[in-house]
Amino acid sequence: MTTMQTGKPDDCQNNDCSNLFPMTIDSLRFPLDSTMRIIFTGYFNGIGVEVRSVHEMALLYQMGCFGKGSFSRSKPKRHQSNDSPQIMRKRQFLKRNYWYKKFNTRSETTDSDLFFKEIDELSAKIVSDCENKNVIDLVSSDEDDNNITDFVSPQLDNYNASEKQDMVVVVANSDSEEEDYFANLKPQCCLNKTKLEEKLMLTLQEAFFLLYGLGCLQVVHADKVLNIEQCLELFTETDKHFVTKYVVYHYFRSKGYVVKSGIKFGGDYLLYKDGPGVAHAEFIVIIRNIVEKNSEFNWVSVLGHNRMAVTTLKKVIIAEVVQPNSEIKIPEGLCNYSVRELLLTRNIPVTLNDDFN
């Protein structure tokens, strides 16, 4: 039996118990002293905001667990260049060389010519695969061969310090777990022409919280720094439910939780008390907008979310967003929104009877 109950301070929050529901959303700007304020720079990439500076990436993640690494599960990692080359699989090295050749030729041709050329190549590949009655492969490249001699460096000492940082050690692929893998490793020192730098990826809600809530981020789009109103308009065009999601994000961030995406567990957000690197998330947040009548929210979906939470040792919180009745101006009117928590618990009648007996 699954029941709903309003959130209690002891169950789903660690803030002052005198702070009753519903809690209003307001903007708090820290630090109060403008001379101590640090302004980070993020770049809008179409789906989110990315931070490219290594020092800014470290500060944002260490001072609030904001964002995630583009190549990492959570904390961004950076290759330490201490005169030791990076070790790379042969398959990965060949794929990067394919990218280098493809995108270098892209700059030499116009966009229209390149578009029609790729269409012709793709059509020819589909016809060829259909005639051979094999599996159609649109992902692999023609560069996946065993020849990497063009990139092998016989004399590493002839390169200067900056060029040594571009060197990588290419080893064989580890497709099979054979005992003689390390005996036949045959490493080769090659020149890596495609460097992939890790970035800190911020969601739209995280970026707007840093911009509007804390005032420590500036968002750049099309070589132009956007203000709060322009960012709100851009983020709303990207995600039509941005305002509702941001209200819930701001709500739980104000309570001291680390809020992350919950798509892995079928929810909207995950709530951490200390961050992803310290302990697992305790709550899965499901957002419900009361004003939207056509929103699909029934007991079937509730039971599915609850089942997922039980198998992962978590609890489900349904965050109901109450919008003001009258038209308000955003973002000044965000303080008129309110959030109500519903904590889901699953009680099995057989277990309850055994406890009473």
Contacting residues for 356 by C-beta, under 8 A, at least 6 apart: none
**272 flagged as catalytic:** yes
Instruction: Give, to the nearest 10 degrees, the angle between helix 228-238 and helix 242-254.
Output: 120
Count CA atoms closer than 13 A to 265's CA, side-chain side: 28
CB 297 within 8 A of CB 288: yes
Q: Is 339 exposed, middle or buried (0-12, 13-18, 19+ CB in 10 A)?
A: buried
Q: Is 41 exposed, middle or buried (0-12, 13-18, 19+ CB in 10 A)?
A: middle
| CA distance linking residue 42 with residue 217, whole number of Å | 7
Catalytic entry in 272, 305, 315, 337: 272
Token duo for residue 73: 């599960």
Backbone angles phi and psi of 159, in degrees to 5: -90, 150
Helix or strand run (H / E) with residue 170: strand 167-171
CB 205 within 8 A of CB 194: no
Q: Kindly tell me the sign of the dihedral angle through the C-alpha atoms of 329, 335, 340, 341.
A: positive
Catalytic entry in 102, 195, 264, 280: 280
3-state secondary structure 284-323: EEEEEECCCCCCCCCHHHHHHHHHHHHHCCCEEEEEEEEC
Catalytic entry in 257, 314, 315, 337: 314
Active site residues: 272, 280, 314
